[in-house]
Amino acid sequence: MSTTTTDVHSHGEHGDHEHNPYHQHHFATMEQQFDTSKLGMWLFLATEILLFGGLFVGFGLMQHRYPREFIEAHEHLKQLVAGQLFPLYGALNTMVLLVSSWTMVMGVNAAQTDQKKKLVRYLVITILLACVFLVVKYVEYSHKFNDHLLPGMFYGHQSEDLIKGTHGYATFFAFYFMMTGLHGIHVLVGIGLLSWLVMRARRGDFTSSYYTPVDLVGLYWHIVDVIWIYLFPLYYLIS
Amino acid sequence: MSSHTESHTHHGGPKIYTANLLALLFLTVITVAAASFNFGSANVVIALAIATVKATLVGLFFMHLIWDKPVNAIIAIAGFLFLGIFLMFDFIDVGSRVNLQPRNMPNMENATPAPDTMNPLKTAPPKPLEPAPAAEEHK
């Protein structure tokens, strides 16, 4: 106990892993500090689940209200956007996000095992995959902007099969853009956080005894993946 | 103290993560394949069941819940549990209504349909580049 106390007060002189420069004095141990941060992150993730959950419930209710329009809007998307390409966009983006989750967890593993170069490499690959996701998203969105398949009052698509019951289609696209858009914003935030991690990792901030930010951003990145896992079948597959 | 550090570093590992990724990609292929068959209303259930399996795999291995202190898993499960309660009660509510219109609304059957104020096609030209057809609609 006495050795720990002296360690805490002699800043970095020993280079001992018992005392880390990132050890905040109100925590007894680094492990306690890590667990506390992680608990806080999980509480945030629970609010994320509920944030998107509300939108999922709304989508379900509106699909119950406009069952025909929702299915037709989906079918229409399939035919309109370059044949069968539309579900492929979703499938491609699902794969991209799953692989990026893997690179993220490999990055966390590299941080845990003091492999700095590997950590930076995996983080950079994760950022690149996130960019691929957003590029596919951009292509997908621009198709819809061109055809005036826009949310709510902006809906102005004119074709014979979707002209009746416009309210239902407008509602479908309102949910489509709000949910995929909010998810896209989360991906953008993730890119920002990952870039910050790359900067810090290159500086050598992270070691096996302190990698809390890598772990927490990893958790955030995985929850973004989990949300997409649910978005994908609901918007791209169900008919 | 050193045992604590080990407890962080020695769980998981590249092999488990890679196996998990392969399982997730395989399940994605299954989801796409299952959607091409018509099981009626079961399609939604199948898709969401596979999605839940995938989300569980991500949670357990990528998010380390299987090795973590149980409190994190409890928070995660609580999030989904309350979402389930939310979803269930909403659908009980909507499902138990015979008619979504208010009960005291007069002349339910012969009522003129509510003004479609949200429908821009009837009030504004849908495409600003083509004002001619929209102008005809107003007459």
Domain positions in chain B? 2-68, 70-99
Query: Min CA distance, A232 vs chain B (Å)?
Result: 9
Picking from B28, B72, B120, the nearest residue to A94 by CB comes out as B28
A78 CB burial (10 A radius; 0-12, 13-18, 19+)? middle
- Specify the pLDDT at position A12: 43
Residue A14 touches partner B, C-beta closer than 8 Å: no
State the Cα–Cα distance between residues A190 and B136, nearest whole angstrom: 49
pLDDT range class, residue A113, cuts 50, 70, 90: very high
Chain A residues close to B59, C-beta within 8 Å:
222, 226
Q: What is the pLDDT of residues A132-163, one digit of tens each?
A: 999 988 988 887 787 777 776 677 666 655 55
Using the predicted structure, report yes or no on whether residue B101 has a pLDDT greater than 70.
no
Residue B89 touches partner A, C-beta closer than 8 Å: no
Query: Min CA distance, A199 vs chain B (Å)?
Result: 23
Q: Do B104 and A70 meet the contact criterion of CB atoms below 8 Å apart?
A: no
Q: What is the pLDDT of residues A59-105, one digit of tens each?
A: 988 888 888 888 877 776 665 555 455 667 788 899 999 999 999 99
Q: What is the pLDDT of residues B38-49, one digit of tens each?
A: 777 788 889 999
Decide: helix, strand or coil at residue A168.
Answer: helix
Q: What is the pLDDT of residues A2-57, one digit of tens each?
A: 444 444 444 444 444 457 888 888 888 888 899 999 999 999 999 999 999 999 99
- Specify the pLDDT at position A152: 67
Least confident range from A28-42, A204-218, A224-238, B4-18: namely B4-18
The most confident of the ranges A23-32, B104-113, B130-139 is A23-32
Residue A22 touches partner B, C-beta closer than 8 Å: no
Closest Cα in chain A to B59 = A222
For B93-99, what is the mean pLDDT?
Answer: 76
Q: Do A238 and B28 touch (CB under 8 A)?
A: no
Domain assignment present for A47: yes
Query: Min CA distance, B120 vs chain A (Å)?
Result: 6
- DSSP annotation of A207 reads B
Q: Do A225 and A97 meet the contact criterion of CB atoms below 8 Å apart?
A: yes
Mean pLDDT of chain B, nearest integer? 76
Using the predicted structure, report yes or no on whether residue A109 has a pLDDT greater than 60.
yes
Range of the domain at A36: 30-237
Picking from A17, A102, A218, the nearest residue to B21 by CB comes out as A102
DSSP string, chain B: -HHHHHHHHSSS-HHHHHHHHHHHHHHHHHHHHHHTS--TTHHHHHHHHHHHHHHHHIIIIIT-TTTS-HHHHHHHHHHHHHHHHHHHHHHHHHHT-S-SS-TT-S-TTTPPPPP-TT-HHHHS-SSTT-HHHHHHHH-
How much is the ipTM here? 0.83
For B57-84, what is the mean pLDDT?
Answer: 94
Closest Cα in chain A to B116 = A167
For B68-83, what is the mean pLDDT?
Answer: 94
CATH number at residue A125: 1.20.120.80
Picking from B58, B79, B121, the nearest residue to A50 by CB comes out as B79
- Specify the pLDDT at position B7: 45
Least confident range from A202-206, A225-229, B32-36: namely B32-36
Mean pLDDT of chain A, nearest integer? 83
Q: What is the pLDDT of residues B111-125, one digit of tens each?
A: 455 555 555 555 444
- Specify the pLDDT at position A171: 84
- Specify the pLDDT at position A5: 43
HSE-CB of A165 using CA atoms within 13 angstroms: 15
Domain assignment present for A151: yes
- Specify the pLDDT at position B139: 44
Chain A residues close to B51, C-beta within 8 Å:
229-230, 232-233
One-letter amino acid of A139: V
Contacts A–B by Cβ distance under 8 A: 163
- Specify the pLDDT at position A2: 42
- Specify the pLDDT at position A53: 94
Number of domains in chain A: 1
pLDDT range class, residue B8, cuts 50, 70, 90: very low
- Specify the pLDDT at position A38: 94
Domain assignment present for A217: yes
Chain B residues close to A34, C-beta within 8 Å:
8
